[in-house]
Structure 1
Amino acid sequence: MDEYLDWIARNGGSYSKLDFRRDQETNGTVHATETVYPNDTFATVPFRVTITEKVARKTFADLSDVSCRNVMALFVAYQSLLGDQSFYAPYLNILPKQILTPFFWETEDLHYLDQTNLATAVRERKLNIFNDYEALVVRLSAELPFPYTLIDPTHTEPSEVLFPLVDSLNHKPNTKITWVRSGDDQSGSLSFVSGQVFNAGEEMFNNYGPKSNEELLLGYGFCFEVNEHDHVALKPNFSRDPNGQVKLEILKQCHIESGNPDPLTYYVHREHIPQMFLKLMRVLVMNQTEAKIYIQCKDSQQLEWVGYRNELAMVAMTCALLQSRLNAIRAVELNRETTRWVQRCALMYRDGQEQILALTLISMENLKQTIFKKMARDKKQERIAPVTPFVNYLNPGYFESLTYPDLEAEGLVMMDSVTITLGQLLRDKKFKSTIEQLFEDIEEEEDVVWMIGLLHERTKKNSPWKPFFEKTEKAYLQEHQNLEELEDLHGSLFPAFSEAFPDIFAPQDYTVQLFGWADMVMNTYTIENPLCVVPL
């Protein structure tokens, strides 16, 4: 360490009030030897001792097609082989011999990352490193990167730099540190100015900026028990959706993207779920009818609300995605009693992931309850959009015009009070008894039972869903003439059912046209898990 600090000083660097320490678990800490006050400059590092992409490429000028990270790793390996002949030897000699990032963990330690995004990231990065190794035939070395623009502000391409002395300080969020550049990239330096008080004996920290535990653990080998910048990465899958390409086109037309390298990957934080992610999910859960309508849409604001069916489907799908991830994390059994440093870090990371998922689930459940309350208010006031299928794109201004004063004061609203369920359709004991006689296994014939149940409910003069039935039936009969696909199914049921139970199945209420209407309702207005009709 003394040789290293002397080397820094000989080359124009300086530090004051700093004590460099080593410990058994981490790669060292830096402590204040006396009080450091705001505006104190406690370290200055000359640019000439840094390892930059520019320096590395001078040595390997013929590797212009190699990435910045790889050419710098190659340079570090080369300088290490030079031993004491290397100008950077004092710096390289004090670099950690034990790397704490997950790439170097034992299998037992990696188990602590099971069922997390980080486990996948580690596998992918290891493969990339191996492929780079095979291409360069050298050992790569990962170290603490700082942006090269600190040295040369005119440099615009993404680049990295190894900063001796600077990388001795550990990271702590919200630490008040200012990096002050002076001079040019040949003779200049970088100074560190404190923006807060560090008491004597207290550890001194750097600030790498807002980084999640996932980033810290992957890049530096440590994390925090409570990290306000923690997030969970979510990426919905469109590949199995038969309308997937249409939906991706809607996203493209409406400029729905995350702003991340993968435009479909979003980051959910403890207290925040991106509104753009919810817009994406509204597109993901669109049924065929909604997708055909919204393929004309080019305004992202139209995706702030599609309709009640879509919104409930969006919430259900999002909750299922979150719950699946949460269950996977919780299913991994881990020893929490006797753990090593890296295992404790992994536990901090996965506990943070679990907490974010659980809190986001609560947020989505609260959103669902708000939707139910609005539906209950609309049902009570017999409010329904003018144009079927009741989506915002076809009813401009309608949903925005609705008001819901004192909504939060209302009690809990159950889903089956604002939707149509099969259980509701079978509450009529006589009708249910008839259905049980006609179908040995109602579950197996659920689709047909649903359609017959809707037709039966339609005949009730006091049905709470009369406005829905009347409006959708009128629109359907005006637009649909070809019913060939349903004629065989209808013919297998009627007039036989009407002849067997004439008091239940009046022929005029179970025509093939009305059968087609019921089929349309099932295709256009339902959500799954549980299956129900959203009649608003």
Structure 2
Amino acid sequence: MELVDWIISQGGSLNDCVRVAQDASRGVHIQVKGDWPQPISKETKVLSTPIGATMSYFNAVGFQTPDATFSKHGVELPQAFIDAVAVEETSTFFLMGQFLRGSQGFWYTYLRTLPQPGELNTPLFFGEEDVDWIQGTGIPEAAVQRYQVWDERYEQCMAKLEEVGFEGIEEYTCVVEASRLAEDSGVSVLLPLIDLPNHRPLAKVEWRAGSSDIGMVVLEDVGPGHEISNNYGPRNNEQLLMNYGFCLPNNPTDYRIIKLGVKPDSHLSKAKTRQIEMFPEVANDKEDHYYIFNVFYPLLGPDTAMEHSIFSPALFNSLTIMHANERERKQIEITESAISIPAAYGNGHSKLAALSQISFELISHIMMLEATGQDRQLQPTNLKQTFAQIYRNGLLTLDKAALVIATWTLARAREHTRGESWEDIKTLLNEHMSQIPEGHFPAETLSRIRVRILERESLLKKNGELFRLGELFGLLPAEMQAASRECFNHVLAQAGQQVPSLQTDPQALFSLVLCLLVATGRSSHARPQLSSRLTRWVDFLVEQYPLSAVPSGTSETMGQLIQFVQSEQAQAWAVQDGVHWLSDDCGWLDSNWLAWAFTVAEAEMVLIPHEPLQVLATENPGLPKLGCLYVPQE
């Protein structure tokens, strides 16, 4: 291979144990020779590139050190241009200049091995039919934004070159994609030969720079005939496709970047501002770290919570703050590494609300991907379409597996009959997983979903903290439940005739039941018979939401209900319905307590997706929501 001969002539090396190979599936790659007598051992330097054969900004400026000289090799960019533009632009125009030198250029042999103009597979060079394969993903928008940035920078650079009278400027009209870039001290460096091996996530290799060369060293034993892969780092498929023009089926380090669209005056934005005030160095990190990981993602700490193993802590914590109620937001903890709502009694509401919002987003994204990909049953006709299909399929699998895990925690929160023993959890999990259509996931993915759920501790320790309307009566002792239901239904039937909207207003309905439960908890006659869970919850709500602080305004439905109760003296119906334990001062159907209950119901409700896994089995299932009231366990 000419590249190898050129590198060796410049002082580089290719270990005798390896060779350059090529086949249809892997293209050009490096492998251990098939007839090599034994596996090569770790710490073996398999190839090296001399410092003088690398190309970087240092060459563009002719940088020199006592040990090395970085030659310009015939491309002289004006110093005024170099001073006026960024390092990246200088490096790019230097690369373009070397490309334009053709066979006269020092790097000619190497540049011929890079994708040539017209052969580039990144989305910026997709044709109209190719773009159809990535509709519904974030790539078209990202590609347009990147192209606009490149185009703007290119025009600025060309204007500067024209201003300084650079000769041959008319030739700098092509864009040469440096598809394999290494980051070294913040300077992009092209590394001939070292950039030849294919990328494999988690490949155990290391680049080691010496005074005269950069070597690629394997950190694991590699057997005869096996490929030696490079490692670009834990890149997801979007990064690989956008930056290098390929992506990987079943990429273990795949993840989806989430954009939350946080408003400047939101609670989260204010908390971030406060964090920067407390820890100024945080401002240097420009990335939000909002990710949804695939279930095989390997770079997790051993103590990472189950939810955080799929939804990055930054994403999950931010969503808890965005969807927390006011009482939870008062407890926000700000440290240098995180902004979060601490684990405490009553704070599971924000976690369940965050999981619910994540589930809705996942369902929406799955539906969009499937809707925009429904015509993609055809086989890809080129590499661009092949990689786009791999990328889209990877997103769908990632989203669907994440949805199973997010809704698992919501399913636990809806479970009021089983305990929390290992057998109970396995039974509940089997029921949850049975909603997945047969064959929808590969067996390995199903197994990994189970592993994520069973082997990592959940952020929510207890089951049964979300209640539908009728389930709330189960918090009462068995002997009180029937009478309480009868009393509620009596009020509902009579009031519903005067206030028709009551039947379809979940907040108002929850307010009625909540008013009854709190009145029972405040009744000196009933309280000794109640569970500690119910009395602690009632006391907690009364403390957190003082009656005196309740806003005067309510919804039209609640206003009409309060008027009805007052005119009909509906409080008196409790005794005739068998609810004899309510005293006159306990607050049952009192207008102030009804308004209080309405405020509390709004704050403590969580809207969760109804039958969320239907998106795996049904085309366009919609996004029906189910209102639940949060009641913490002790």
Task: Establish whether TM, by shorter chain, passes 0.5.
Answer: yes
- The equivalent residue for 2:258 is 234
Residue 191 of structure 2 aligns with an amino acid whose one-letter code is: F
Q: Pick which of 118-127 and 505-514 moved more.
A: 505-514
* Superimposed CA distance per residue, residues 305-356 of structure 1 (whole angstroms, 9 cap, x where no aligned partner): 2513222212211222222222222222243452222222222222222222
- The equivalent residue for 1:294 is 331
Distance, in Å, in 2 between the alignment partners of 1:287 and 1:311 is 11
Residue 330 of structure 1 aligns with an amino acid whose one-letter code is: E
Contact 1:133 1:140 in 2 (8 A): no
Note if 1:103 corresponds to 2:124: yes
Distance, in Å, in 2 between the alignment partners of 1:132 and 1:233 is 26
Q: 2:192 pairs with 153, 161, 164, which one?
A: 164
Distance, in Å, in 1 between the alignment partners of 2:332 and 2:468 is 30
Distance, in Å, in 1 between the alignment partners of 2:565 and 2:278 is 49
- The equivalent residue for 1:338 is 379
Quote how far apart the aligned CAs of 1:51 are.
0.8
Note if 1:75 corresponds to 2:75: no
Residue 43 of structure 1 aligns with an amino acid whose one-letter code is: L
Distance, in Å, in 2 between the alignment partners of 1:490 and 1:175 is 63
- The equivalent residue for 1:393 is none
Q: Pick which of 208-217 and 239-248 moved more.
A: 239-248
Note if 1:12 corresponds to 2:108: no
Distance, in Å, in 1 between the alignment partners of 2:13 and 2:537 is 81
Distance, in Å, in 1 between the alignment partners of 2:221 and 2:537 is 67
Q: 1:296 to 1:88 in 2, by over 3 A?
A: closer
Quote how far apart the aligned CAs of 1:74 are.
0.4
Q: 1:406 pairs with 421, 428, 436, which one?
A: 421
Q: 2:535 pairs with 449, 452, 467, which one?
A: 467
Q: 1:250 to 1:191 in 2, by over 3 A?
A: closer
Contact 1:250 1:298 in 2 (8 A): no
Quote how far apart the aligned CAs of 1:24 are.
8.0
* Superimposed CA distance per residue, residues 65-89 of structure 1 (whole angstroms, 9 cap, x where no aligned partner): 4333321210111122223332222
Contact 1:439 1:445 in 2 (8 A): no
- The equivalent residue for 2:631 is 535
Contact 2:355 2:410 in 1 (8 A): yes
Contact 2:136 2:368 in 1 (8 A): yes
Quote how far apart the aligned CAs of 1:133 are.
1.8
Distance, in Å, in 1 between the alignment partners of 2:598 and 2:12 is 78
Note if 1:43 corresponds to 2:47: yes
- The equivalent residue for 2:57 is 53
Instruction: Give the match's secondary structure for 1:475.
Output: helix
- The equivalent residue for 2:360 is 320
Map 1:65-464 to 2 at 5 A. Answer: 65-97=84-116, 98-137=119-158, 138=172, 139-147=174-182, 149=184, 157-183=185-211, 188-194=212-218, 195-197=220-222, 199-200=224-225, 203-239=227-263, 243-249=267-273, 261-263=286-288, 265-271=290-296, 272-273=309-310, 274-291=312-329, 293-294=330-331, 303-305=341-343, 307-331=347-371, 332-339=373-380, 340-372=382-414, 406=421, 409=424, 412=428, 418-423=465-470, 428=486, 429-442=489-502, 447-456=507-516, 458=518
* Superimposed CA distance per residue, residues 463-497 of structure 1 (whole angstroms, 9 cap, x where no aligned partner): 88862674257537866167654699987655654
Q: 1:286 to 1:168 in 2, by over 3 A?
A: same
Contact 1:173 1:209 in 2 (8 A): yes
Contact 1:41 1:192 in 2 (8 A): yes
* Superimposed CA distance per residue, residues 401-445 of structure 1 (whole angstroms, 9 cap, x where no aligned partner): xxx973663665999975454456895343332132122333565
Q: Normalised by the size of structure 2, how large is the TM-score?
A: 0.66
Instruction: Tell me the C-alpha RMSD between the 2 structures.
Output: 4.1
- The equivalent residue for 2:479 is none
- The equivalent residue for 2:439 is none
Q: 1:523 to 1:10 in 2, by over 3 A?
A: same
Identity %: 19
Instruction: Give the match's secondary structure for 1:441.
Output: helix
Contact 1:257 1:264 in 2 (8 A): no
Instruction: Give the match's secondary structure for 1:170.
Output: coil
Contact 1:253 1:297 in 2 (8 A): no
Distance, in Å, in 2 between the alignment partners of 1:117 and 1:376 is 42
Distance, in Å, in 2 between the alignment partners of 1:212 and 1:480 is 53
* Superimposed CA distance per residue, residues 126-145 of structure 1 (whole angstroms, 9 cap, x where no aligned partner): 22111122222343322244
Give the gaps of 5 or more residues in structure 1: 150-156, 378-403
Quote how far apart the aligned CAs of 1:517 are.
2.0
Distance, in Å, in 1 between the alignment partners of 2:512 and 2:115 is 73
Contact 1:483 1:513 in 2 (8 A): no
Q: 1:21 to 1:71 in 2, by over 3 A?
A: farther
Q: 1:320 to 1:248 in 2, by over 3 A?
A: farther
Residue 327 of structure 2 aligns with an amino acid whose one-letter code is: T
Contact 2:180 2:244 in 1 (8 A): no
Distance, in Å, in 2 between the alignment partners of 1:168 and 1:474 is 68
Q: Normalised by the size of structure 1, how large is the TM-score?
A: 0.77
Residue 535 of structure 2 aligns with an amino acid whose one-letter code is: P
Q: 1:144 to 1:35 in 2, by over 3 A?
A: farther
Residue 504 of structure 1 aligns with an amino acid whose one-letter code is: W
Distance, in Å, in 1 between the alignment partners of 2:30 and 2:468 is 65
Residue 260 of structure 2 aligns with an amino acid whose one-letter code is: P
Contact 2:6 2:109 in 1 (8 A): yes
Contact 1:234 1:268 in 2 (8 A): no
Instruction: Give the match's secondary structure for 1:357.
Output: helix
Distance, in Å, in 2 between the alignment partners of 1:180 and 1:19 is 20
Q: Pick which of 412-421 and 47-56 moved more.
A: 412-421
Q: Pick which of 449-458 and 332-341 moved more.
A: 449-458
